[in-house]
Amino acid sequence: MNIQKEAFGVTKSDKPVTKYILSNDNGMEVHILDYGAIITSIIVPDKDGNLDDIALGYDSIAEYEDNGPSYGAFIGRNSNRIQNASFELNGTVYNLDKNDGNNNLHGGYTGYHKMMYEATTLQDDTSVSIELSRLSPHMEQGFPGNLEVKVIYSLTNDNQLIIKYHAVSDQDTVVNLTNHSYFNLSGHNAGSVLDHKVWIKSDSFTPTDDNLIPTGEIADVTNTPMDFRQLKTLGKDINADYPPLKIAGGYDHNYVLNKETSGIERIAQLIDDKSGRVMDVYTDLPGMQLYSGNFMPTEKGKVGATYQKRYGVCFETQYYPNNINQPSFPSSVLRAGEEFNSTTIYKFS
C-alpha cells in the first residue's frame, strides 16, 4: 500500500492544489484533491484483472471549481435539499442560498466541495488514508456555529474505500454530510449506466412534491418502479408512467433504509455484468439518495470522454432531505459540543 501526491494546478484565488493517490496491493487506486475533498478517480480491476477508472470527473482544477454536477464532491454542511432555503432552530430562522429554484441544495453556492482543506496522510498495517479538515465558520452558507469538520478517506487491501465523517460545533447546527461520486462500473467513459443492476435494502422511500422536496410521507415500494429489493437493472422501470419518476426525470429519491442497528450495515449493491465489477455500499446513516444522473449535462469529462444524462449513478448516504423542516424524519441537528461521526463504505469486487 502506498500514498503519493502530485500537483493539480492552481485555483482562481492562487491556491495550489494537490492530488493524493492512495493505492493498495491489488492495483486499486483512489485519487483525492485537497480542494473540495473531491474524489477524482477510483481505479479498480474487472473480472479479468484489467484496471479502469469507474468514477466520473474532470482533468483540471478549473473544471472542478465549476463542477455543476458535483462529480466526486464532499457535500456539506447539509446534503440534499432544504425547502424554501430556510429553517428554524432554537427559535431563530436561518436563511440559506436559493441555489435550486426556491430551495437550498447541497449547502448552497459555496458548498464544501468549493473549499481548501488541510491534508494529513496516515498509514498502518490495514490501510492508507488521507484526512482532510477545515473550520467552517459561524454563518458560513447561513448555518450557525463554528464547525470543525473532517473527512477521512481510507483504502484497504480488500478494495474498500472507507469514508469517515467527523464534526463538532460550538453552537447547535445542522450537519448532513455525504459524497457525490458518480459511478459507472464499466468505466467512466463507457456511456449509459441503465444496464447496471441495483439492489437497495429498503421497503419505502420519501415521495416529493414538484420541487423534489419530501412531502413527509413514507411510501411503500411494493408493486412500484421504486422497488429494488430484488436486483434489477437501473433502466428497467426508469421511464415508467409513475408520478415520482416523472417529477424527478428518473430516480432522484431518498430511500428509507432497513437498518437493523444504528451501526454500519450493507444497504445497497451495484453490479455491471459486462465488466464483472460489483460495488457494495455500507453505512450507519438512515437514508440513501439514489440518483440516476437525470440532470447531467452533455459535457467534456476526463481523458477526452463526453458525459451525458445517465452516464453515472450516485449512492448518497444521508439523513432524509429537508429533515430540519420535517419533524417526523430522523434529525440531522448536531448539538453544541457533541460529536458527529459517520461512516460510509464503497467495497469493490
**Catalytic residue positions, numbered:** 180, 316
- The closest of 324, 88, 333, 75 to 214, measured between CA atoms, is 324
Asked if residues 170 and 146 have their Cβ atoms less than 8 Å apart, the reply is yes
- The closest of 7, 49, 58, 59 to 28, measured between CA atoms, is 49
Instruction: State how far the Cα of 155 lies from the Cα of 181, in Å rounded to an integer.
Output: 16
Instruction: State how far the Cα of 30 lies from the Cα of 315, in Å rounded to an integer.
Output: 17
| Complete DSSP assignment for 255-308 | EEE--SSSS-EEEEEEE-TTT--EEEEEESSSEEEEE--TT---EE-GGG-EE-
Number of H helices, E strands in the chain: 2, 29
Instruction: State how far the Cα of 140 lies from the Cα of 33, in Å rounded to an integer.
Output: 22
Amino acid at 77: R
Terminal CA-CA length for the chain = 18
* Strand, helix or coil for residue 64: helix
Which grid coordinates belong to 45?
Answer: 480491476
Instruction: State how far the Cα of 118 lies from the Cα of 127, in Å rounded to an integer.
Output: 20
